[in-house]
Amino acid sequence: MIEIIDQENVCLENQLSLKLDYLNHPDISGNKFRKLKYNLLEAKKLQKSILLSFGGAFSNHIAAVAAAGHRFGFKTIGVIRGEELADKILENPTLSYAKKQGMQFHFVSRKVFREKATEAFTEDLKSRFGDFHLIPEGGTNALAVKGCEEILTEKDHGFDYICCPVGTGGTISGLINSSLPQQKILGFPALKGDFLQEEISKFANNSNWELITDYHFGGYAKINSQLISFINSFKANYQIPLDPVYTGKMMFGIYDLLKQGYFPEDSKILAIHTGGLQGIDGMNKKLRHKKLPIIK
């Protein structure tokens, strides 16, 4: 029922290859599709017809839940952080896309959003929307990690380093669990903070990993003109788009580490392109507003 397209890795330069996992489905892209796969199968098994999840105004996860619902026959509810967004749907590329995919929104204040995991809030949502299958913000749970364990295949056994961007830690956990003991998994957090170590340890059953915390560019969704120009020249060189929140920062970090001689000369590195391209339009709106160069 749920088919994931495996792409050939592309070689960027002699040591470094890229797995184009953003092309794993025509409309649900990258790691968010991986994370949804077993959650969708579980919802079907439980005969739930509604998926409900949470996210911010530019969330890749919200876009993916909406598209997956549309594609696989679920109604979708998006609980969105920020009441003020209710009358800005059409100005927001992510929300208007999700709406087109049939998602129904429930906008809540930042305070209510912070308390979204409470039983009282879940009960309130059930009385509004009926029985639903709940998927956490960012999509990370044990079934999501299981889906991410399928990103690496036998064809990837020859790589010494596997690199991925990190948000909640679900994706890297799956990579860790399906890696070989002699491989090293490097995570590039897209945000500040040291809670990730603990999150990843909850799901990961190996210790062959490390977080590289120098490339968050000041925090989640924070960018500067250096990063934008890197993303634009990467696309000009390889015809491969990168997103500004996750994959752009990771690739910037990998090239910087290569320059510093971090990787042994004969080692082979595989970076995972986890997707997130739907976020470019939203970011460009902000950049135009600030009169900064945009992502091409």
Residue ranges that bind ligand PLP, judged by CB under 6 A: 30-32, 60, 138, 140, 165-172, 243, 246-247, 274-276
CB of 107 to ligand PLP, least distance (A): 21
Of 86 and 238, which has the nearer Cβ to ligand PLP?
A: 238
Task: Give the nearest distance from C-beta 144 to ligand PLP in angstroms.
Answer: 7
Q: Which residue has the tokens 């929104």?
A: 105
CB 278 → ligand PLP: shortest distance, Å? 9
Q: Of 76 and 247, which CB lies nearer to ligand PLP in the complex structure?
A: 247
Question: Other C-beta atoms within 10 Å of 58: how many?
Answer: 21
Phi, psi of 273 (to 5 degrees): -85, 105
In 3D space, the residue among 46, 23, 44 whose CA is nearest the CA of residue 34 turns out to be 23
Which residue has its beta carbon closest to ligand PLP? 276
Find the helix or strand (DSSP H, E) in which 274 lies. none
| Residue among 228, 225, 215 at smallest CA distance from 271 | 215
Structure tokens at 262: 């971090």
**In 3D, which of 202, 208, 159 has the Cα closest to residue 187?**
208
CB of 14 to ligand PLP, least distance (A): 25
171: Cβ contacts below 8 Å, ≥ 6 apart: 31, 34, 35, 148, 151, 164, 165, 272, 274
Smallest separation, CB 50 to ligand PLP (Å): 22
| 82 vs 136, beta carbon nearer ligand PLP | 136
Among residues 171 and 183, whose Cβ is nearest to ligand PLP? Answer: 171
Helix, strand or coil, per DSSP, at residue 43: helix
Q: Which is nearer to ligand PLP, 7 or 267 (CB)?
A: 7
Residue 219 beta carbon to ligand PLP: minimum distance, rounded to whole angstroms: 15
- Burial label, 183 (beta-carbon count in 10 A; 0-12, 13-18, 19+): buried
Residue number, 12 or 62, with CB nearest to ligand PLP: 62
